[in-house]
Amino acid sequence: MKIMIVEDDPVLARELELLLKKWDFQVKADIDFKHVDRQCLKYAPDLILLDINLPYYDGFYWCQKIRNTSTVPILFISSREQNADKIMALSAGGDDYIEKPFDLEVLLVKIKAMLRRTYEYKQLEKEYLDDDTCYDLLSGRLIHNDQVLELTKSESKIMTTLLEHRGNCVSREQLMMVLWNTDEFVTDATLSVHISRLRNKLKESMSGQEVIKTKKGVGYYID
């Protein structure tokens, strides 16, 4: 998982970076403090460590800006001990707060707990096709290396149906019924075109891997 460190103390930022990489997190610590929200959108972290005292704008400001576009968990790290600051941090959209100086192991436990609470259920909403590619069953989006691959409405319906029956064969008739329910007029030839295009998109993103397999005379399935 990816963690973004928004901390202007280079010594602490480096210490945090080394700790997190030791635990196999991907880390972004080289921050442009003028455009923290833009970097958040570009990097798409799974969690942000956010200091309050920053150049240009403080952590409260950036937390509110990030909340306009993202629900990523935000853990404030600050030397401020006043309750008012903690209240402001949470009111701005932060999820937790830890005071400096802090024990690195305590910080690590907090990070793991926040990630578990945030993503444990969401993992059930995603079906992984390989280490780098997953399909979000709720949004109907195919995601490869954090990049969303465009699927048509019909292609998304087909992927969702096949993954809801993962390991089992889904007949062409079942898939056609699913597409009919979207008010699309579907013929046998139309379904073949949708399947072919979807297969090609998956192959392109997954190094030629055949994701949708055919059971002759029965239908289609995904392992």
- CATH number, domain at 146? 1.10.10.10
Dihedral over alpha carbons 16, 48, 73, 83 (to 10 degrees): 80
Lowest mean pLDDT across 48-52, 110-114, 116-120, 188-192: 116-120
Distance separating alpha carbons of residues 49 and 187, to the nearest angstrom: 52
pLDDT score for 182: 61
Same domain, 13 and 95: yes
* Higher-confidence position of 26 and 185: 26
Provide the domain count of the chain: 2
pLDDT score for 124: 55
pLDDT score for 183: 60
Same domain, 14 and 60: yes
Same domain, 36 and 10: yes
pLDDT score for 44: 86
Q: Which of 124, 147, 163 is the last residue of a domain?
A: 124
pLDDT score for 47: 94
Beta strands, E only, 60-149: 74-78, 96-99, 126-130, 133-136, 141-144, 147-149
**Does the pLDDT at position 17 exceed 80?**
yes
Same domain, 120 and 135: no
**Cβ contact 59:8 at 8 Å:** no
Q: Which of 103, 124, 145 is the last residue of a domain?
A: 124
Domain span at 92: 2-124
Q: What is the CATH number of the domain that holds 101?
A: 3.40.50.2300
Same domain, 210 and 173: yes
Q: Which of 68, 96, 124 is the last residue of a domain?
A: 124
Same domain, 102 and 41: yes
Same domain, 103 and 165: no
Same domain, 58 and 31: yes
pLDDT score for 55: 93
Same domain, 110 and 30: yes
Same domain, 19 and 116: yes
For the stretch 129-178, pLDDT in tens is: 887 888 887 777 888 887 888 888 889 889 988 988 888 899 988 898 88
Same domain, 23 and 119: yes
pLDDT score for 181: 65
CA nearest to 170, candidates 179, 178, 161 = 161
**Cβ contact 8:51 at 8 Å:** yes
* Higher-confidence position of 11 and 126: 11
Same domain, 27 and 62: yes
State whether residue 167 is helix, strand or coil. coil
pLDDT score for 122: 53
For the stretch 91-137, pLDDT in tens is: 889 999 998 888 888 899 899 888 888 876 555 577 888 878 888 87
